[in-house]
Structure 1
Amino acid sequence: MIADDASFVTPDAWHSPATYWFWHHLPDEEQVRTQVRQMHAAGIKSFQVQARLSFPMHEYLEPAYLAACRWAVEEAAALDMIVGFYDDYNWQTGQAGGRAVVGHDHLRERHLFWTRIELSEGAGTGEISGIVSGTEGLGPAAMAWHYDGGVPLWTDWRIERALAVEGTETAASANSAGVVDVAAATRIEATDTEAALSITGANPALRSALVLVSARSSTSHLVNPLDPEAVDRFIEAGYEPFREAVGDHFGSTVRYVFFDQPHAVYYDWAQRSGGVGSSVPIHTTTLDLARALGEDTHAATIWAVFSETEDPAALALRARFWQFYAELSMEGFLGKLRDWSHRYGLLQSGHEVLTHIGTFTPGTEFGDWDLRANFGLDHFGVDAYRDLTAVDAQDGVAQLSPRLGDSIARATGRTGTIVEQYFLTPPEGGTPWSGHWGLTLDELRSTTIRHHLAGMRQMVFHGFYQTHGHGNDHESMANPRFDFPPGINFEPWFADFHAAYATESARLSEFLEPLSDEASVLLFWPLRTIWTHGQSGDHFDQFGAWAKALDTAGIPWRVVDERSLSDIAAGTVPTARVLILPGVRTLASAASIEALEAIDAAGIRVLSTGFGLETLQDGADVRALPATPLDAVPDAEILASRLEVSRSGDSGFAPAGPSAGLRIRSGIDASGRTRVALFNDGTESVEGSLLGENFVEWAAATGLATALHDARLTLAPGELRLFVGDESTTGTGSVADSAAGSDTASGSAFASASAASAASAASAASAASAASAASAASADFATLRSNATNVRVLAGDWDLTPLPDGSPVPVDVTAGWQTVLPEYSGAATYRTTFELAEVSGAILELPSVSGSARLSINGTTVGERGWRPYRFAIPVELLRKGTNEVAITVFGSAANEFYAGTGLRPAPELNGLLAAPELFLTPRADG
């Protein structure tokens, strides 16, 4: 029968996979329309056009480019797809491909630099030199993207502040009486690369000076993100042309704007000192923010921010400065983008720079950039300027991004997050930035399911390629082939297998949408500790250790920030049992302490690790927190018992033995029914039982529902299974009703692109009938395997034929075809024979494969599997007494063709069969 949820059977575009569409040259109309249709056929229902570095920047947003964008939107409209407006060239919102600053030099990015000058008899000299752009590590192509001539040059130097103290820097008080303004005694002489500073005639008693100067880059393509005029100019140059080209599709096919890492470049220089790790974008109002804190503390605030002082009063001023800075930059930049989007009926999405991609520990990535200068690292604050929460994620590993994104969305009254996913890290020995053309669909799928279970609504893949590049240029990003690969559509498995993956992802997302939040542990985002102590240190180490342990232990958890403490105390997270403060040293005020006391009084235990509270931002006296300190984060194996909380799914599934790698998401939907999602993310089978009765299994592959007669389950590695409790035991109402209610709660942004009709549901079920049989065989595999009368390991003579017209070569089925075809990428067919004395049913399992697989027996196709478990039920009528031929076609990755001869890989990557196939013969049904 069809599952009784129309949105599950026919998912909408908001839950289906999306992609960046990388353009490498100006396309013609046929190429545009053809590739949009390819996306649609592969189950991709949404895209964003993104002109990459190989695309001539001078052609970006020109009439021909915009005409091509319109063709793309028109084709998407015909296919009922959704388009997002990706708002800049390559990435990094804020330049319009360099167009924003042409003829507007005064709007180019301006940065604050500083240095310490030791004084003797009121005089001293210093300099700002050796300025290094954070873009340099990306290579020459990226430098040409950011700068005229590929070189950052500077102009319009000016002294912003010059302050001095009588003693050492650490002895300086946060009282303005201890910090003296010496700007009148300070002089500057500058070139286009450096500045010389001198102080003469200052008070002879002064011993140490801190001089802050600013300069505007005369060659940068980025606007000054703190200058309101510059942001307006960016919108004029980058947004308005797109509106003029396709604005009649705004609000229908074109649904949202996506900003990507909006920031100025980060610079370092030889004389940098103090606690701020890189240059700070500056406008005339930036340092004047300190005056809003009080005229009497103005000089002390500047000293507190840009020196190394740890005086508690100075730390309070530092936190206040970064809060002002974050609010100014968010309102001045993101606020303007949001207002433009809303004016024209578009939703706002996108993400800022995230320091935790590919890991659970913030501060791990972009460690050379001080991201307090990027909206203060206030991720919860940024979300107030979005309609759709978004994050980015790197590589196929469990990580913080989807959990944090969903947590941020919930804090602003929504659920779920968009995850921009790329696979950048090469295998061991590979050259950095060379990417991952060796991606298999199994790895992509496992990553996708992991993200969904952690809070992802939709994956945006990075990316769908216009071309696969060329072979003789190995420079990162200059050659499209090595610009954040893989281009998913040039993977050999894409055309035949991606659609099934996309359908499963969309149905899983729809299945999870109606679930209530079950977080039992709340992990505190230590924002003000970041403002006072930077983006690396004990607070991030503690946060990352807790996040990883909670994820590994399978405990339902969520990230919260200081703004939500009072609401938590009032019971907004009814399942919460524990609140963890990781390395928290600074809070806003006594009101936060009072909220923590109320949380504790409400029965939610407050725990802390690392440093204790030292500073309140408002300068009030600190008092003890109502927190139980722990010496260290408990090991994941004992974490649930240590915290006295349940694991995800404890109310829905009980493992009967080892369950390493088992991931569970369970909860109650809006109609009161239990939903349980089980995914075996490990390498060994997991056994257990569903808790309760009258469950129905919903098949993500088909949209069909089957009554479950035995609650005992065995999940093979890679298996995903979804269950819904029967209405008679868990509640009343239909799942379709609950899904509609969830859409209402989440906002109109996630309303279905079109209502799924009964006819479309029936059509989907009919089209999936063949897959249904394979799914049932998979579900019953444990029983069939245990009843097998004969097990054959097919490790004998095999040959391999590259497709479409290669010659067969002998091959070892346990080693991968790269041992005999080291530079071959694509599909290849393994063949051998086996003998049967009697005909019976059979199951063929492939224990280990690098790629996706299709099985034929005696010339007839049995089925195909894009990912684990690679098993096939062989109908008895396809087998015969005597000799039987088995043919297994494996669709590998593009790695060994694209990396061959480049020196970017030390050896060919695995492709094909990596273990001998196993044949399980089962008794005939007729006895």
Structure 2
Amino acid sequence: MEQIRTEQDIGRRDLFENPTAAFRPSAYWFWHSIPAEDVCHAQLADFKQKGIGTILIQARLAMSRDDYLSPPFLDAYRVAAGIAGKLGLKLGIYDDYNWISGHAGGRTVVDRDDLRERHLFWSSLGEARGEISGIHPPFTRTMGPDIVAWQYEGSIVEWCQWTVEAALLHPSVGIDSLDQVVDVTARTFVVESDRTSCSYLFEGVPDGGQVLTVFVSARSRTSRLINYLLPEAAERFIEVGLDPLIEALGDLVPDPVGFVFYDQPAAGFYKWSQISGDLGNSLLYAPTLPDAVSRGTGETFARALLALVRDVGPETLRLRAQFYAAYSALMNEAFSGTLRRWAEGRGIVLTGHEILPHVSSWSLNGGFTTIDPRVALAVDFFGIDAYRHETAVDSNNFVAQLAPKLGDSVARSNGRSRCVVETYASAERTPVRAAGQWELTLETMRAQAIRLHCLGSRQFLWHGVYQTDGRDDDPTPFSNPRFDFGPGINFEPWWSYHDLFAEETARISAFIEGATPRTPVAILYPLHTAFAEGPRHSHATHIGAWCEGLLAEGCDFMFVSEADLATATIENGRLRASGLVFDAVVLPSVTVLETTKTLHTLAVFKAAGGVVWSSGDSLSAVCDGITREAVEVSMHIERMPGDGDVGALLRSLRSTGPDVACHSVDKPWQWIGYETDGWWRIVLFNDGSTERVSEISFGDGFECEVWSATTGTVNEVFAFEHLTVVLGPQDVRCLRLRQVPETVAREGHLSDQPVVDDGRAVPLVDDWSFAPGPDAEFVPISVETGWEMQGFADFSGTGIYRLTLEIGDEADWVLELPAVDTVVTVRLDDRQIGRRGWRPYNFALGRLTPGVHSLELHVANTAANRYYKNTPYLGDSLDKSGLAAAPKLIPLTN
């Protein structure tokens, strides 16, 4: 990842006008086959022209695994990297085939069966004999047969080396203490096994009311996924998967190839016929795990295992929390630690993202609801991030969500800030998620990018740009590139407008970079609660409720860890942690804490005048505490927090900096931050369809600059007592202001809407003609409904609307296009007036003299109607295309 050059390095305004690659959109470049040199030249030049700053080459499922990392692949990789460098593009190494880092396209486990994933399964019976059978990976199977085929040799899930790792006799119900649990591991054996199941036998007979719980490990003999608990697996992955790329790139490392990006390292999430208890999936096993768990819990491995699936009395929550903490630490060090040391030895940056169970959701586990994330690198986000040099997260679809906020939080906790957000689209019109969203518009993606920047993203990472757009009339997901999590944005008809999106959003990101966010509220990330209680506990939904409630009130926040609180300072009733200042700490249904130090910090903070609120369940255990202690809180809410609760919390806090108020129900997005010299920065964005008005005040008066993200210009300073900012649909404003001591008797009004004479508006309804492309014949068309309803159902591309209009009065005219699907270029008398990719579609035509004029509107839609044709993915209706309301000519008011 490009080293971030700050405003001190290149100048505050220069960075805004010409953002570096760190702020520009980046993209996965999907290779579906090994590209020829001319393809590399053409596509990379196109990406550069469209405003992309960084490319990551990713081999996808359409490419043969035999081709991945082959000599021709490595040759093409170096050629592409060299071309990218000459174009001024940055390049990153996406570290694997398809996704799930660590397998190197299956090469990691070739001739190294010992590195294949090994899991623990369990069964509880009131009998001496039992079995483990029916093992299956439901999470993988939901992705379809092609995904199963590349993860498992022969598409078969098979197992070997069945071993009893722990066996315990215990009461069937009501275990009051671990003293009632008897370890009988030495008397329990696997007696029969095959490739799909095993039988075990206990040399004894459980007494009445007793249950035998047996934990059996097995290694998959067919999985290409690795055992992430083994550092030697990561070392082998580096040897066969990463070193060949680095060696092929040679002197192109570290510039332009400056980083390696990992993606969702995780073993399988297996279920089986006998699964029961608190843990929802199998978990990895390695010979080093028992000692790590015993050290972490102070208990035997066997008893600690039982606590994962059964209530074993008062120690249950502590044992679970400490078990998963030890398990996660072992995995973090074995995989991420090995990768980091390798990256540093090669002089490059390590980044990437783990599985995020909250993807597309505000609830901590509202995304991947079918998995138990405790078995993967998927809960201890602060600990995982400590091994990265730069933070990256994953996001799904085009809605506000938790990922960037949590990503920014862990980055700041580890001495950095902000994050890269990979954004992919899963289908909404069909159950086949990989069919994607070819109906995506530039307006939708722009709105999402701006929201992500307000939530903590520095760089928007596209998933992705495509080498090919695949095959017609073939709905097969993945292997047909067209349905490999579309869209491939460079095959969208609106792709030529991407530079507008890239320039504007990069400037917004660069603008935010220059200030520290104002975050009055800290939300404690309840790691040990998540470990102990599992993903279905209320802490997950309480986190989502607090996040959404605070944002709805225009209040920013950040997550902090217990380690952050342990090192925090408290000054004047404010808590300083992770480089931020907080007036309040929120505990979202926290039942388990790691340390009593957290209680001490919160008590000192509250005594100093700070605010501590909690919601949901109350504290039950502190892992290093001898006795149960309570949290000293200012307010506890037993229910899920609502709007009234959030409002009450905010009213209890002191105000700092400028006040930004919006009196409508739906408020614009806002980001507020401060510089070290007294200046403040504000971003306001209206992602809605109606006008929204914000009122800004700051003491007795303030001076304000307006920074245009569209043009990169900065206007002169004006002084105001009060400023009204009118935001039309999709409007964005970047403002920089500071308080002035004297009262300024001036009311300000900021709006980009042209002042027009609506009473003299001329609707342009009739006499339009249309051509589906530059070489097609023109035919009459209505501009009050899309072309998809007028005989061009499957046309995806740029359609041309033409009108001969007569101007009667000389005036300065504005052309208003009320409904465009989805981007448009306006030409008048063979002269380009402008182009727009999102609302408002208003164009100043200048002063027109009376007479006849030629008007052309070049409108591009999405690829959905063409690419979903003859597939099950089209849905119940066609994608809207072209004009859907009559254009208007409106004179400007003199």
- Taking the TM superposition and a 5 Å limit, the aligned residue runs for 1:761-772 are none
CA distance in 2, matches of 1:159, 1:267: 18
**Alignment match, 2:532:** 532
**Alignment match, 1:553:** 553
**Alignment match, 1:518:** 518
CA distance in 1, matches of 2:24, 2:277: 47
Offset of 1:173 from its aligned partner?
4.0
Offset of 1:263 from its aligned partner?
1.0
Offset of 1:177 from its aligned partner?
5.0
The answer to whether residue 203 in structure 2 is matched with residue 200 in structure 1 is yes
What secondary structure, in the 3-state scheme, does the structure 1 residue paired with 2:624 have?
coil
**Alignment match, 2:734:** 722
Offset of 1:862 from its aligned partner?
1.2
Indicate conservation of the 8 Å contact 2:167/2:302, yes or no: no
Instruction: In structure 2, give the amino acid aligned to 1:507.
Output: R
**Alignment match, 2:146:** 141
What secondary structure, in the 3-state scheme, does the structure 2 residue paired with 1:683 have?
coil
Indicate conservation of the 8 Å contact 2:361/2:401, yes or no: yes
Offset of 1:33 from its aligned partner?
2.1
2:614 pairs with one of 608, 611, 620:
608
**Alignment match, 1:841:** 812
- Change over 3 Å in CA distance of 1:606–1:859 after alignment to 2: same
Instruction: In structure 2, give the amino acid aligned to 1:813.
Output: V
What secondary structure, in the 3-state scheme, does the structure 2 residue paired with 1:59 have?
coil
CA distance in 2, matches of 1:688, 1:376: 39
What secondary structure, in the 3-state scheme, does the structure 1 residue paired with 2:705 have?
strand
Instruction: In structure 2, give the amino acid aligned to 1:111.
Output: H
Indicate conservation of the 8 Å contact 2:542/2:641, yes or no: no
Indicate conservation of the 8 Å contact 1:174/1:301, yes or no: no
**Alignment match, 2:873:** 904
CA deviation map 1:734-766 (0-9, x unaligned) = xxxxxxxxxxxxxxxxxxxxxxxxxxxxxxxxx
2:245 pairs with one of 242, 245, 250:
242
**Alignment match, 1:10:** 18
Offset of 1:850 from its aligned partner?
2.1
- Change over 3 Å in CA distance of 1:442–1:779 after alignment to 2: farther
**Alignment match, 2:746:** none
CA distance in 2, matches of 1:864, 1:34: 24
CA distance in 1, matches of 2:741, 2:350: 42
Indicate conservation of the 8 Å contact 1:555/1:647, yes or no: no
CA deviation map 1:803-849 (0-9, x unaligned) = 12223344443432211211010111223354432111111222232
- Change over 3 Å in CA distance of 1:314–1:642 after alignment to 2: closer
**Alignment match, 1:644:** 651
2:844 pairs with one of 873, 877, 900:
873
Offset of 1:244 from its aligned partner?
0.9
The answer to whether residue 299 in structure 2 is matched with residue 325 in structure 1 is no
The answer to whether residue 257 in structure 2 is matched with residue 227 in structure 1 is no
CA deviation map 1:638-659 (0-9, x unaligned) = 733443267999815444x526
1:406 pairs with one of 405, 408, 414:
408
Q: Say which is worse superposed, 430-439 or 272-281, in terms of deviation.
A: 430-439
1:96 pairs with one of 96, 101, 104:
104
**Alignment match, 2:294:** 291
Q: Which has the higher contact order (CA 8 A, sep 6+)?
A: 1
Indicate conservation of the 8 Å contact 2:132/2:273, yes or no: no
Indicate conservation of the 8 Å contact 1:389/1:405, yes or no: yes
**Alignment match, 1:265:** 268
Indicate conservation of the 8 Å contact 1:390/1:417, yes or no: yes
CA distance in 1, matches of 2:726, 2:236: 59
**Alignment match, 2:116:** 108
Instruction: In structure 2, give the amino acid aligned to 1:586.
Output: V
TM (norm. structure 2) is 0.92
- Taking the TM superposition and a 5 Å limit, the aligned residue runs for 1:576-595 are 576-595=582-601
Q: How many residues align?
A: 864
What secondary structure, in the 3-state scheme, does the structure 2 residue paired with 1:98 have?
helix
What secondary structure, in the 3-state scheme, does the structure 2 residue paired with 1:481 have?
helix
2:41 pairs with one of 28, 33, 36:
33
Instruction: In structure 1, give the amino acid aligned to 2:856.
Output: A
CA deviation map 1:615-652 (0-9, x unaligned) = 12235221221122114345447733443267999815
CA distance in 2, matches of 1:117, 1:638: 47
CA distance in 1, matches of 2:605, 2:469: 55
CA distance in 2, matches of 1:374, 1:561: 19
CA distance in 1, matches of 2:261, 2:35: 22
Offset of 1:795 from its aligned partner?
3.4
CA distance in 2, matches of 1:184, 1:139: 42
CA distance in 1, matches of 2:589, 2:752: 48
CA distance in 2, matches of 1:716, 1:376: 40
What secondary structure, in the 3-state scheme, does the structure 2 residue paired with 1:316 have?
helix
Instruction: In structure 2, give the amino acid aligned to 1:392.
Output: D
Q: Percent identity?
A: 34
CA distance in 1, matches of 2:780, 2:428: 30
The answer to whether residue 164 in structure 2 is matched with residue 159 in structure 1 is yes
- Change over 3 Å in CA distance of 1:128–1:618 after alignment to 2: farther
**Alignment match, 2:488:** 487
2:639 pairs with one of 623, 632, 638:
632
CA deviation map 1:847-896 (0-9, x unaligned) = 232211111223332111111221111111xx332444432211111111
CA distance in 2, matches of 1:623, 1:350: 38
Q: Say which is worse superposed, 458-467 or 241-250, in terms of deviation.
A: 241-250
What secondary structure, in the 3-state scheme, does the structure 2 residue paired with 1:265 have?
coil
1:702 pairs with one of 711, 716, 727:
711
Instruction: In structure 2, give the amino acid aligned to 1:438.
Output: E
Offset of 1:521 from its aligned partner?
1.1
CA deviation map 1:376-419 (0-9, x unaligned) = 61001101000100101111111111111111111111111000
CA distance in 1, matches of 2:14, 2:336: 36
Q: Say which is worse superposed, 624-633 or 515-524, in terms of deviation.
A: 624-633
TM (norm. structure 1) is 0.89
Instruction: In structure 1, give the amino acid aligned to 2:376.
Output: N
CA distance in 1, matches of 2:286, 2:72: 36
CA distance in 2, matches of 1:271, 1:638: 43
CA distance in 2, matches of 1:72, 1:299: 52
CA deviation map 1:572-631 (0-9, x unaligned) = 256412211111111113222112212212322111111111112235221221122114
Offset of 1:266 from its aligned partner?
1.2
Structure 2 gaps of 5+ residues are 1-9, 743-748
CA distance in 2, matches of 1:715, 1:206: 69
Q: Say which is worse superposed, 705-714 or 90-99, in terms of deviation.
A: 705-714
- Taking the TM superposition and a 5 Å limit, the aligned residue runs for 1:17-28 are 17-28=25-36
**Alignment match, 2:337:** 335
Q: Say which is worse superposed, 151-160 or 322-331, in terms of deviation.
A: 151-160
Indicate conservation of the 8 Å contact 1:648/1:665, yes or no: no
CA distance in 1, matches of 2:525, 2:679: 33
Offset of 1:367 from its aligned partner?
2.0
What secondary structure, in the 3-state scheme, does the structure 2 residue paired with 1:579 have?
strand
Instruction: In structure 1, give the amino acid aligned to 2:647.
Output: A
**Alignment match, 1:304:** 307
CA distance in 2, matches of 1:637, 1:917: 44
CA distance in 1, matches of 2:751, 2:528: 53
**Alignment match, 2:5:** none
Structure 1 gaps of 5+ residues are 731-777
Offset of 1:472 from its aligned partner?
3.0
CA deviation map 1:753-804 (0-9, x unaligned) = xxxxxxxxxxxxxxxxxxxxxxxxx97653513x555123333443322112
CA distance in 1, matches of 2:378, 2:456: 24
Offset of 1:713 from its aligned partner?
3.1
CA distance in 1, matches of 2:492, 2:524: 41
What secondary structure, in the 3-state scheme, does the structure 2 residue paired with 1:784 have?
coil
Q: Say which is worse superposed, 594-603 or 537-546, in terms of deviation.
A: 594-603
**Alignment match, 1:687:** 693
